[in-house]
Chain A
């Protein structure tokens, strides 16, 4: 017995020592990928609903994206380019108000129900009642822009918009506009747990909350079939466990969201590829423009000038995000990096001096952030900004944080004079990076920024159908933005996926929707 106890103790101590040894620079080869098995993708996101008319989260949209097309789809990997999906063609009226879609002939839902104008009308007309019953969320992407839909004939529909929107086709490719099977969905009741979807390369076979979602290939799909016959999504509580599961061979792909630390560790592992691409998520600073001294544009700009974005990206985000010099990210129509070259401590100090802040009378401010919502790195982000501002000698910063729900409540009610926020676009258009922020009354962000000149420019770009003319307006907005600095862009997110040898065709989409059906497992 004594020997047994000693052996147990020895094993325990050995294991602890082995564990404490760390894994930096490890180059062990993970177990080989099983052949002819389902493709397994890990995520730290969580499911909340399958109801496309209402739900508003990336993961829910991503799940639905696999098994339901719209009249138009976003081209995988593009920054907002649309392609025909369930529509075989469409025409736009000269005034930009009417979109007439001709549906694909002979297309059916997986249960054999035919795709026709009635299915389109059913899908779009249920958005309003569903949103009314559940408390409106994603439905605004239809109801705030479209004024109605009608059947021209059995295979043709006409959608009328309330105004000419240059980004209307991007709106049509969003989740609430997906076409559902009328035989499988209720017109007035949210299908929170309804897995019927619509017509997509994959079909949703089963779902176990917190454990996995299983897709199988849709044999009757009209378009390019899924590369794998079975795709399983596994849910993880955190990035670290997901990274370990990838190394352990429990998953083939680790998708949203790997932390910078886990990304770095996985890059060192043989047999695992880490791929990254620019995303559409942006991070920025928001001021309450109605409170002193942030009602003074010079103070807002001065603080912007004191920020070194390169250093911020390297130190706080460990290179997983890139500096952003305009609220409109690169790759979007009209992008102009107007904050480039504005980083200048001397000019920032001079602007603050003109506003009355000096070394003897520093600007004392609270910088607010939410410690978990934007990942574990958020306290580091706040700390680096504090250090950069305080390095000027004329700013003193206290870091303050609130958990997300409280943070949002306080921010929205205007209690947070300076805070850190982030943004994922609803649709891939510069409108969603400009007007949604700076057009008065700008209350949702806590900014309360109100400038009639900015409003006029924002309204003009949203109504301009001529691309060249719109680009000119967008550039003007970005130029004007720097002097006003109601929001200060900091960084652009990077999408990261890590996958094992044998996995290919991983397309990192700027919209952050992973195309499960494109991935190949050899």
Chain B
């Protein structure tokens, strides 16, 4: 690793700290500004004022705002996100429980996005202004415009309720949840433990949600890949390669695609934030027990601590992926030096 790259990584990490601090501060105060008392959201409707106050004392909500804030920040510094207001379990445990499902869905969806997006984007660019190009471009716009939940419901109706090929909800069949996990990603765990049945079950459950989320995000990917490939395919080195008699497939998929890759990788990095946002809707549609569903449930409960911890965790992931993508530039394009 060059000293320049090392310096760049350190600066990026340091600059992430104030960004996260601003974010958690905003989240902390926004949660407390919006109407809705957690005590009222959590306790029964007929709870007396004494009972409500008892809950506020137990959860620290009775303390002045600045004290709550300082306690929260000091906890975050120690990577202690506190205890869920509604479940009385550490927030970090909640994240550990739900995060693997989101990662598994996001990775599978990203695979669908990248495969569909890159393949069809390159194909459309290579067949510019032909019928297939127009078809792919129109399809990509439709995919990008389709609401995730609608596409999800359609896939559930067709492949689940009507054809009966795939399950419509959850991560595994009932009763198949392993007692202990290694990574929490059931597909990976199945491979590690050489459990074929678990692997097949996990993949079957992944297909519909991952396709839903992946296809919607693939729309923008197809268009970006096509645009970049069009630029690259008109450059001199492609013309020269073609003149030297290189095979068209080698020219397009090896030389062309590699040079169009930097903006695609950038978008892949940016997609992580979109993936996580999309995962919230996908997880709800497919009853997928991930972080997105956790956030939605806890918003209704006004579970401040879980929301703060989860959103901070989301931000950490997006910041980390963004940093990794920046570092990847250097490897993908030798001209880039930090």
Contacts and interface: CB of A to CB of B under 8 A. Distances in A.
Interface of A: 1-2, 5-6, 9, 12, 15-16, 18-20, 23, 28, 30-31, 37-38, 40, 46, 48-49, 51, 56, 131-138, 140, 190, 192-193, 206, 208-212, 214, 230, 232, 234-238, 240-242, 244-245, 247-251, 372, 402-406, 408-410, 412, 421, 423, 426, 436, 443-445
Contacts of A37: 175
A408 B40 contact: yes
B45 A250 contact: no
B281 to A, nearest CB: 10
Contact of A5 (B136, B169, B301): B136
Contacts of B161: 23, 244, 247-248
Given A28-B162, A140-B51, A232 B169 contact: no
B285 interface: yes
Contacts of A445: 45-46
A247 B171 CA distance: 18
A46 B294 CA distance: 11
B286 A241 contact: yes
Contacts of B36: 403-406, 408-409
B153 A444 contact: no
A250 B170 contact: yes
Interface string B287-307: 101000110010011100000
Given A238-B287, A250-B174, A409-B37, A135 B160 contact: no
Given A135-B57, A244-B169, A211 B289 contact: yes
7 contacts: A18-B158, A19-B155, A135-B59, A193-B89, A208-B289, A209-B94, A237-B287
B88 A190 contact: yes
Contact of B132 (A2, A138, A208): A2
Interface centre among A19, A49, A140, A192 (most CB of B within 10 A): A19
A424 to B, nearest CB: 9
A406 B35 contact: yes
Contacts of B162: 18, 23, 28
Nearest to A248: B160
B173 interface: yes
A28 B249 CA distance: 47
Contact of A412 (B40, B97, B175): B40
Contacts of A404: 36, 41, 300
Contacts of B69: none
Contact of A209 (B45, B54, B97): B97
B104 to A, nearest CB: 13
Given A211-B289, A214-B175, A136 B40 contact: no
A421 B287 CA distance: 28
Contacts of B46: 426, 436, 444-445
Nearest to A135: B55
B169 A250 contact: yes
Given A241-B156, A445-B45, A48 B58 contact: no
Contact of B56 (A135, A208, A410): A135
Contact of B123 (A5, A9, A444): A5
A428 to B, nearest CB: 16
A236 B160 CA distance: 15
Interface in B15-48: 34-48
A46 B300 CA distance: 12
B63 interface: no
B284 interface: yes
Given A18-B158, A244-B157, A238 B54 contact: no
Contacts of B174: 38, 40, 212, 232, 234, 250-251
A204 B249 CA distance: 59
B259 interface: no
Given A40-B175, A210-B289, 17 more contacts: A15-B154, A15-B158, A20-B154, A38-B174, A135-B59, A192-B89, A193-B89, A235-B287, A237-B284, A237-B287, A244-B157, A245-B160, A248-B168, A250-B169, A250-B170, A409-B40, A421-B45
Nearest to A407: B36
B266 interface: no
Interface centre among A48, A134, A211, A443 (most CB of B within 10 A): A211
Given A56-B43, A245-B168, A232 B287 contact: no
A135 B39 contact: yes
Contact of B48 (A23, A49, A444): A444
B263 interface: no
Contact of B44 (A56, A131, A208, A251): A56
Interface in B144-161: 153-158, 160-161
Closest 10 pairs (CB-CB, A-B)? A135-B55, A405-B36, A210-B289, A406-B35, A19-B154, A135-B58, A405-B41, A40-B174, A408-B40, A406-B36
B162 to A, nearest CB: 7
B87 A212 contact: no
B49 interface: yes
Contact of B88 (A134, A209, A210, A406): A134
A515 to B, nearest CB: 19
A244 B41 CA distance: 30
Contact of B175 (A31, A232, A402): A232
A241 B168 contact: yes
A319 B180 CA distance: 45
Contact of A137 (B44, B157, B171, B285): B44
Contacts of A250: 167-170, 173-174
A136 B51 contact: yes
Contact of A244 (B58, B94, B160, B179): B160
A521 B41 CA distance: 38
Contacts of B50: 136
Nearest to A408: B40
A250 B167 CA distance: 7
A212 B172 CA distance: 10
B183 to A, nearest CB: 15
Contacts of A133: 58
B289 A235 contact: yes
A251 B160 CA distance: 13
B241 interface: no
Contacts of B320: none
A241 B285 contact: yes
B57 A46 contact: no
Contacts of B283: 237
B193 interface: no
B135 interface: yes
A244 B175 contact: no
A403 B175 contact: no
B45 A48 contact: no
B60 to A, nearest CB: 11
Contacts of B179: 206
Contacts of A20: 154
A447 B150 CA distance: 41
Nearest to A230: B175
A140 B44 CA distance: 11
A409 B49 contact: no
Contacts of B8: none
Contact of A9 (B135, B175, B286): B135
B156 A244 contact: yes
